[in-house]
Structure 1
Amino acid sequence: MADITLTPGFRRTVEQTWGDTGRAWLAGLPGLAAGLMADWELSPAGPLPLSMNWVGRVRRADGTPAVLKLGVPESGHLADEATALECFAGRAAITVLARDDARGALLLEEARPGTPATSLTPRDDAAATSVLIEVIARLHRPAPDGVALPELSGRIRSFRGHLRRFPGDDPLPRHLVERAAGLFEELCATATGRVVLHGDLHHDNVLAAEREPWLAIDPHGVVGDPGYEVGAMLYNPDPHAPGDAVLDAAEARIEQLADGLGMPRERVVAWGFVQAVLSEVWSCEGDGMVSGRPLRLAHRLLPLLP
């Protein structure tokens, strides 16, 4: 049976995000994990860090390593993740070995050694950015007709919901949210393509591997403008850490992304600003608190907007 020891932080995140549904899911997690281990003929092989979902290393019946990932089924997050990974078909991303949407379960390829691209940033930020550019170039393909993924344009609801909930400048300056919302709609309306997006591509979600040099993990799975992909990496890695070394590298990253992806610099800046504000809007959805660095990035990028 899998070791499903849960950290207090993980429990708190699940309960704050999904309320009673999350608490019920946590209570049933031991039985759920045991059932899947039996059904998929898995044996436990070690823990992994927990965030929004439960994950653990496992071995399949033939001895090959894999990762078991479990999430609240009602959220639909893991179903979107699986669909996106299936669209990527192993190009610069891990593969789906099995899925059970009703039980909110995925069996995934394990990227080994699994060192994140974060490891490159302290000594060579440009090298880390090059890795992310290469991954984007391999991931992006036109979205298949009828693909069961949400449209990027639907994320305007997060901006509108924030503006309704918070009429003033607390917890976020209202003018920034209004500017980001308007710019988001403009960028979606002028999309240069319609691709399956990872949706949360940054240094900690790109791991060193053997099958390919680097593989993406944990996609949100969304369909829309290719430029959206660049935003998250401008305030990562570790957006909650103190210090602004990452922000000091933002302009160099913007230039490298624009050149490496053949994208107008002003569009990279615009998507970076929009995603920074959207990240803070999402942070506010729970407890009304901002995380900090994305907001500081938005302030830095505001004067650079066209």
Structure 2
Amino acid sequence: MIEPGFADRLTRRFGPQIIDWVQAAPALAERLALEWRLRPNTMFPDGSTSLTVGCTTESGTDAVLKLSPQLDVIAEQDRVLRAFQPGGRVPAVFRSAPEHGAILLERLPGGRVTTPTAAQLAEVLSGLHGAVASPRAVVDKELRDGVEYFLALAEAKLGLDGIAGVVLPEDIARARRLRDRLVTSQTETVLLHGDLHYDNLLDCGPDRGLVAIDPKSSIGEPCFDAIDWVLDGTQPISRKIDDLVALTGFDGERLADWCRVGAPVLAIAAIARGRDPGPLLRFSRS
């Protein structure tokens, strides 16, 4: 049941201190499968922060058992996914044991998306943001802190080959200043997904539509969750902003500014994928 590269992936991600958890995880997965009456059938080979096992429940429903050494992350995902549930844009949570870093999720039938339309994204955002009446009852992390997580990761990579001299310390400093101004002046706040890149969106067909997975939630301005879509490079940024504003009522200038905050982070991701970061950096510096 356990895919051979699992230990290497998690050790690269967390370091050698994770070895004890890695060695214990297969036995924990087997114990939970027995307790929850699951039939494991496959392991997903691409997770860098968790062990994810496809399985079937006692009633014949396809599910995913996810185990992570980050107990706080699993506990938050458990709360957030249950809170988002009424909007229909996240997988169902069947069982959870946050004290073990374990959660059992609906196994979605779709694959990753490539280029969602503005209408598809607007539907996802509406379903997510409209599902939770009291976001601070779910998480206590504000958007400023959620953004800092990504900016700090980006800042730590500025000296790496291919990034040094291309993405500059001033790009991160500028993003922080703009973030602080935007957070101070925001008037509407919702429970955000917080990490809505395309690897976290699944296309589940015409009936279900797009479904979001793996939230890194905070509380803040709704248009923040549109950054990855606006900056995906498939169309001019100004056109994508106009298209989404027409469907959502977002403030176009604030959406553009939030995209400027995220652009240096996405520029580093573009470099890692062999793509030209120039358009993102020129936009962020404009």
TM over 0.5: yes
The change in CA–CA distance for 1:85 and 1:160 in structure 2 (over 3 A counts) is closer
| Contact 1:276–1:294 (Cα < 8 Å) also in 2 | no
The change in CA–CA distance for 1:49 and 1:262 in structure 2 (over 3 A counts) is farther
The change in CA–CA distance for 1:90 and 1:46 in structure 2 (over 3 A counts) is farther
Aligned positions of 1:1-306 closer than 5 A: 3-7=1-5, 11-52=7-48, 53-74=50-71, 76-91=72-87, 92-112=89-109, 114-118=110-114, 121=115, 128-141=117-130, 142-155=133-146, 157-158=148-149, 159=151, 170=164, 172-209=167-204, 212-236=208-232, 246=233, 248-279=235-266, 293=275, 295-302=277-284, 305=286
| Cα distance, 1:201 vs structure 2 | 1.3
| Contact 1:68–1:106 (Cα < 8 Å) also in 2 | yes
Amino acid at match of 2:124: V
What is the SS of the residue equivalent to 2:2? coil
| Contact 2:80–2:138 (Cα < 8 Å) also in 1 | no
How far apart, CA to CA, are the structure 2 residues paired with 1:41 and 1:177? 48
| Contact 2:56–2:62 (Cα < 8 Å) also in 1 | yes
TM value normalised by structure 1: 0.78
Which residue is equivalent to 1:242?
none
TM value normalised by structure 2: 0.83
Q: How many residues align?
A: 276
| Cα distance, 1:61 vs structure 2 | 0.8
State the percentage of identical aligned residues.
Answer: 26
How far apart, CA to CA, are the structure 1 residues paired with 2:103 and 2:33? 11
| Contact 2:146–2:217 (Cα < 8 Å) also in 1 | no
Q: Which runs of 5+ in 2 are unaligned?
A: none
| Cα distance, 1:157 vs structure 2 | 4.2
Q: Cα deviations across residues 189-225 of structure 1 (Å, max 9, x unaligned)?
A: 1223221111111333222337623322121222222
What is the SS of the residue equivalent to 1:4? coil
Amino acid at match of 1:221: S
How far apart, CA to CA, are the structure 2 residues paired with 1:150 and 1:82? 15
| Cα distance, 1:175 vs structure 2 | 1.6
Q: CA RMSD in A?
A: 3.0
